[in-house]
Amino acid sequence: MSDQSWYQHAYVQQGTKTTCLDVPGALATLAWDINNLGEVALNAAFTDSMQHYLWKNGALTAIPDVPASWGSLSSLISGVNDLGDYYGQWADANWAWHGFIALRK
């Protein structure tokens, strides 16, 4: 959902309660997936980077980029399964996209 400044915001609705999931300081927060445990996969856009988070019960946990994507043009987290493993994609210097799966230990 966009506001009057066209910034994107992410929300989760649980029954009649709506919670804003915005990452502090981000220009946009985009929710991509939610698992059965209520963890929401988020991408947050900042002036100079895209950062990734999992949100659950009001707490944000930063998700690091996978090593293969370090220095990439862009990366996105696309989803999270019920084990907490997350997956996404990253773009190399030629804007070719590559997928990744990161397993939570």
* C-alpha distances out from residue 52 to 27, 38, 62, Å: 13, 16, 6
pLDDT of residue 21: 85
With the C-alpha atoms ordered 11, 12, 18, 20, is the resulting torsion angle positive or negative?
A: negative
- Residue 64 to residue 85: CA distance in whole angstroms: 12
Residue 16, pLDDT above cutoff 60 = yes
The pTM of the whole model exceeds 0.85: no
pLDDT, mean over the chain? 82
pLDDT of residue 82: 93
pLDDT of residue 81: 93
Say which residue, 6 or 69, is predicted with more confidence: 69
- Average pLDDT of span 70-98: 83
Contacts of 44 (CB under 8 A, 6+ apart): 23, 26, 28, 29, 30, 50, 51, 52, 53
Residue 74, pLDDT above cutoff 70 = yes
CB-hemisphere CA count at 13 Å for 57?
A: 2
Which tokens go with 58?
Answer: 């009001």
Task: For residue range 31-70, list pLDDT tens digits in order.
Answer: 889 999 989 999 998 888 788 898 898 899 888 776 666 6
